């Protein structure tokens, strides 16, 4: 314990209001044994000076303490009291219900700051993925809005709610590129495009950290899962991945780099084995790329026990080796498993692990703790949490984004939007009244009772609310033969209704971690319900509630309309109703392809050409299916229609240091106002370091047009849109032919040629 000097008179905490945050200062100044304040405790010093001073005073045991993250349960104060006294824990993460208030967090912090020799504060982590209490749509849905700024706003609110309960750090964004909808974690990412994914990654970091992560309403972000986790074989979670360096550089790494460029504080190393070397023991990705090439100054935390799991991966013979591999590869902090704590001291003393490796890991962790302001404001206000959650601006935003995330996949004979004057509307299906399911996976501290069900949202819009009849029809996944009666009741309700909505999909816990699927259809008896309702002859409007692309060709064939609503969050019912009744025009577009069948997986738009492209025999077709997806990347309808003109270029050739413009005219050819998502795609026709995809998204603009209105949309193209990485990470911009599309999605439009000259 240090000598403490009390500042001021009676108060032991001074509270001041800074520009956008409440700052609570400890009223004590800690003095060292010479009666002076240490450099590391002086907020006026630079972060690097503070880190160096503190590191210089730490024992090896204290340093190793900074590498340990433990799991916090209800008994944490008792359980970890001694360790905190010794400075043996750096961080806690929570999986329990405790974190409704910051009380226990402050108690633990007190032990670390006031009772340990150097008073190094703890950093508290938690998974706020798409909201804390105000649950927004899942990230895959938010990506469908094609509005990174909107995503940033949701994460700003999430940061505010998360910070109010004493969490300093969230394990998001998940930027794993995913091409396999069987993998349940596809819900947590932004889809199959690295360019769009990079915009969302940066937006998320800005949303969480703001311009000053030390502010009381901000949290540190964490890029995860580094790297390649989304390419998991067979879509099975935690499985191995094989990704060439060339593919890694061009598809899997850019989103992580975007996070570094946005100033992210931390990274999380992934569970998967990457080309035979587990990501949590991978020196090439963690040190050569992340630290040496990208100059990332923050720290890497392992995923849950993923350092210990190096043994099961078959790369470490025992805990000693696992610790050595993880630490020397570049994993600075170990989540839950304790191999660093248990073995590194001895290994340093025996010269097996160098002191410099330990120091570097500690330096990185301390840097982030200083940056987060934890040394200067270790405690959080214990009253704020009471009013911080579900504030009106959060709820309003949740509704706006739920509507903007919806993607209209089919709309025959303008089945949608519905009139609010409709007198008899049937809402059928297992998701009609299940408000909890709308929250999706990783729902933080979201509560079913806060959530607006589809039934509630739709009913509120009808001029005659009593005209809504709701029938479950069947369970979401129970496939037993128990639902004949309920299906009959649903059919009856449909038969007498003016319009029929079927709310179908998959339960929230069927996506997210450890929720892979082997099939991509509707679970349980839902297809039977669909067929029975369709057989009434009524046009059926399907609302899909799900966390992944599903393969639903039969719905495409038989439904009148399909609205992909995803897991739309706490205001899902209202947001979806805004679209259903046309108060908001649908403007979402898919950021991931929807296959026709599991057998087509993986199917993604930015694939390479084969030597035999096209249709017909000997072109890579299936004998029993076409090869294109049911709905391609970028696809989504509006209630109106848009015509895209020819693409014009300001120049048909240019040099690498010049820019040129591509433009086209978009016209609203329908009778309603609407919003087009105008997409720029480019193809590098011949590339020396490796073939480039048949198309790559390189720009988009959302354009609102009234009926009959036209607008010219222009994109400026520079070497940033034309280059690519070689396998070593060099950026190449090569002279030669390119193709340029401005189109409604990745499968339509006609390209024009462009030449990059020396």
- Chain residues binding ligand NOJ by CB under 6 A are 93, 127, 171, 224, 303-304, 513
Q: Tell me which residue of 161, 137, 647 sits closest to 384, measured CA to CA.
A: 161
CB of 237 to ligand NOJ, least distance (A): 9
Nearer to ligand NOJ, 221 or 398 (CB): 221
Structure tokens at 29: 């100044």
Helices marked H in 436-542 — which ranges?
454-461, 484-495, 526-534
CB of 93 to ligand NOJ, least distance (A): 6
Instruction: Give the C-alpha distances (Å, rounded to integers) separating 501 from 531, 550, 554.
Output: 13, 19, 16
CB of 567 to ligand NOJ, least distance (A): 17
Q: Are 444 and 135 in contact (CB under 8 A)?
A: yes
CB of 445 to ligand NOJ, least distance (A): 14
HEC string of 309-327?
Answer: CHHHHCCCCCHHHHHHHHH
Nearer to ligand NOJ, 140 or 397 (CB): 140
Nearer to ligand NOJ, 282 or 347 (CB): 282
Nearer to ligand NOJ, 127 or 147 (CB): 127
Enclosing H/E stretch for 425: strand 425-428
Q: Tell me which residue of 256, 61, 83, 25 sits closest to 91, measured CA to CA.
A: 83
Instruction: Give the C-alpha distances (Å, rounded to integers) separating 648 from 435, 652, 660, 675, 741.
Output: 48, 9, 11, 22, 10
Rounded to the nearest 5°, which phi and psi values hold at 91?
Answer: -155, 155
Q: Among all chains, which residue has been given the structure tokens 């569970």?
A: 271
Nearer to ligand NOJ, 271 or 594 (CB): 271
Strands 642-644 and 731-732 turn out to be: unpaired
Nearer to ligand NOJ, 94 or 381 (CB): 94
Q: Among all chains, which residue has been given the structure tokens 């059919």?
A: 491
Instruction: Give the C-alpha distances (Å, rounded to integers) separating 98 from 262, 284, 447, 629.
Output: 31, 38, 15, 44
CB of 126 to ligand NOJ, least distance (A): 8
DSSP, res 405: H
Structure tokens at 630: 């049911």
Q: Are 123 and 158 in contact (CB under 8 A)?
A: no
Q: Confirm whether 478 is a catalytic residue.
A: no
Burial 555-588, CB ≥16 within 10 A → b, else e:
bbebbbbbbbbbbbbbbbbbbbbbbbbbebbbbb
CB of 104 to ligand NOJ, least distance (A): 18
CB of 405 to ligand NOJ, least distance (A): 21
Nearer to ligand NOJ, 304 or 725 (CB): 304
Nearer to ligand NOJ, 513 or 585 (CB): 513
Q: Are 551 and 630 in contact (CB under 8 A)?
A: yes
Q: Are 172 and 228 in contact (CB under 8 A)?
A: no
In sequence order, which residues have a C-beta less than 8 Å from that of residue 63 and are 6 or more positions away?
55, 358, 359, 362
- By beta carbon distance, the residue nearest ligand NOJ is 171
Q: Are 587 and 677 in contact (CB under 8 A)?
A: yes
Structure tokens at 8: 């001021």
Nearer to ligand NOJ, 175 or 717 (CB): 175
Quote the Cα angle for 686-687-690, to 5°: 125
The active-site residue, picked from 217, 303, 381, 745, is 303
Residue 240 burial (10 A CB sphere; 0-12, 13-18, 19+): middle
Nearer to ligand NOJ, 140 or 458 (CB): 140
Rounded CA-CA distance 137/131 in Å is 9
Q: Tell me which residue of 226, 203, 412, 209 sits closest to 303, measured CA to CA.
A: 226
DSSP 3-state assignment of 490? helix
Nearer to ligand NOJ, 347 or 515 (CB): 515
CB of 268 to ligand NOJ, least distance (A): 6
CB of 190 to ligand NOJ, least distance (A): 15
CB of 242 to ligand NOJ, least distance (A): 20
Q: What is the Cβ-side half-sphere exposure of residue 95, based on CA atoms within 13 angstroms?
A: 6
CB of 80 to ligand NOJ, least distance (A): 18
Query: Which residue numbers are catalytic?
Result: 303
């Amino acid at each position: 314990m240090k000598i403490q000097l009390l500042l001021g008179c009676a108060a032991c905490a001074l509270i001041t209001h800074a520009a956008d945050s409440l700052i609570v200062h400890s009223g004590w100044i800690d003095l060292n044994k010479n009666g002076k304040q240490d450099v590391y405790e002086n907020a006026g010093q630079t972060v690097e000076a503070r880190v160096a001073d503190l590191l210089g005073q730490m024992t090896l045991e204290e340093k190793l303490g900074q590498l340990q993250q433990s799991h916090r349960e209800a008994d944490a104060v008792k359980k970890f009291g001694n360790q905190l006294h010794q400075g043996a824990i750096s961080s806690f993460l929570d999986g329990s219900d405790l974190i409704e208030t910051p009380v226990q967090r402050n108690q633990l912090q007190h032990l670390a700051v006031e009772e340990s020799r150097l008073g190094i504060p703890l950093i508290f982590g938690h998974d706020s993925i798409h909201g804390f209490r105000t649950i927004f749509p899942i990230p895959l849905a938010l990506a469908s809005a094609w509005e990174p700024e909107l995503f940033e706003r949701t994460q700003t609110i999430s940061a505010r709610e998360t910070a109010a309960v004493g969490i300093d750090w969230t394990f998001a964004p998940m930027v794993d590129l995913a091409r396999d909808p069987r993998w349940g974690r596809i819900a947590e990412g932004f889809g199959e495009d690295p360019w769009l994914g990079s915009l969302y990654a940066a937006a998320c970091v800005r949303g969480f950290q703001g311009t000053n992560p030390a502010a009381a309403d901000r949290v540190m972000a964490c890029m995860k899962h580094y790297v390649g986790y989304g390419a998991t074989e067979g879509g099975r979670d935690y499985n191995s991945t094989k990704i060439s360096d060339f593919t890694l550089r061009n598809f899997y790494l850019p989103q992580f780099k975007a996070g570094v460029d946005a100033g992210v504080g931390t990274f999380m190393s992934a569970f998967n084995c990457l080309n035979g070397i587990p990501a949590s023991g991978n020196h090439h990705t963690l040190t050569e790329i992340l630290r040496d090439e990208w100059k990332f100054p923050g720290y890497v935390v392992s995923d849950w026990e993923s350092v210990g799991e190096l043994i099961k991966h078959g790369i470490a013979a025992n805990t000693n080796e696992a610790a050595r591999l993880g630490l020397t590869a570049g994993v600075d902090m170990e989540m839950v498993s304790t191999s660093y704590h248990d073995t590194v001291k001895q290994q340093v003393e025996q010269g097996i692990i160098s002191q410099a490796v330990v120091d570097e890991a500690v330096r990185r962790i301390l840097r982030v703790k200083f940056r987060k302001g934890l040394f200067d404001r270790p405690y959080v206000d214990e009253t704020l949490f009471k009013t911080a959650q579900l504030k009106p601006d959060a709820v309003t935003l949740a509704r706006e984004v739920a509507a903007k995330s919806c993607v209209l996949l089919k709309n025959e004979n303008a089945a949608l939007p519905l009139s609010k004057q409709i007198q008899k509307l049937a809402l059928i299906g297992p998701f009609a009244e299940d408000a909890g399911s709308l929250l999706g996976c990783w729902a933080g501290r979201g509560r079913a009772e806060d959530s607006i069900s589809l039934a509630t949202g739709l009913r509120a819009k009808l001029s005659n609310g009593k005209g809504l009849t709701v029938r479950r029809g069947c369970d979401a996944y129970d496939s037993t033969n128990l639902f004949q009666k309920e299906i009959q009741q649903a059919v009856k309700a449909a038969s007498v209704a003016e319009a029929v909505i079927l709310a179908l999909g998959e339960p929230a816990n069927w996506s997210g971690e450890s929720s892979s699927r082997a099939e991509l259809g509707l679970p349980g008896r839902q297809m039977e319900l669909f067929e029975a309702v369709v057989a009434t002859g009524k046009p059926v409007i399907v609302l899909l509630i799900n966390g992944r692309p599903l393969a639903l060709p039969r719905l495409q064939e038989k439904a009148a309309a399909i609205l992909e609503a995803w897991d739309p969050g706490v205001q899902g019912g209202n947001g979806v109703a805004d679209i259903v009744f046309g108060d908001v025009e649908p403007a979402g577009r898919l950021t991931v392809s929807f296959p026709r069948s599991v057998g087509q997986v993986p199917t993604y738009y930015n694939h390479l050409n084969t030597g035999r492209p096209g249709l017909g025999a000997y072109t890579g077709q299936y004998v029993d299916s076409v090869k294109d997806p049911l709905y391609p990347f970028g696809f989504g309808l509006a209630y109106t229609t848009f015509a895209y003109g020819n693409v014009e270029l300001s120049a048909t050739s240019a040099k690498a240091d010049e820019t040129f413009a591509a433009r086209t005219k978009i016209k609203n050819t329908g009778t309603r106002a609407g919003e087009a998502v105008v997409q720029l795609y480019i193809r590098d026709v011949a590339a020396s370091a490796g073939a480039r995809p048949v198309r790559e998204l390189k720009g988009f603009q959302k354009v609102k047009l009234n009926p009959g209105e036209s607008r010219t949309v222009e994109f400026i193209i520079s070497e940033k849109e034309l280059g690519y990485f070689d396998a070593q990470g060099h950026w190449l911009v090569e002279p030669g032919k390119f193709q340029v599309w401005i189109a409604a999605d990745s499968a339509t439009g006609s390209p024009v040629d462009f030449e990059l000259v020396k």
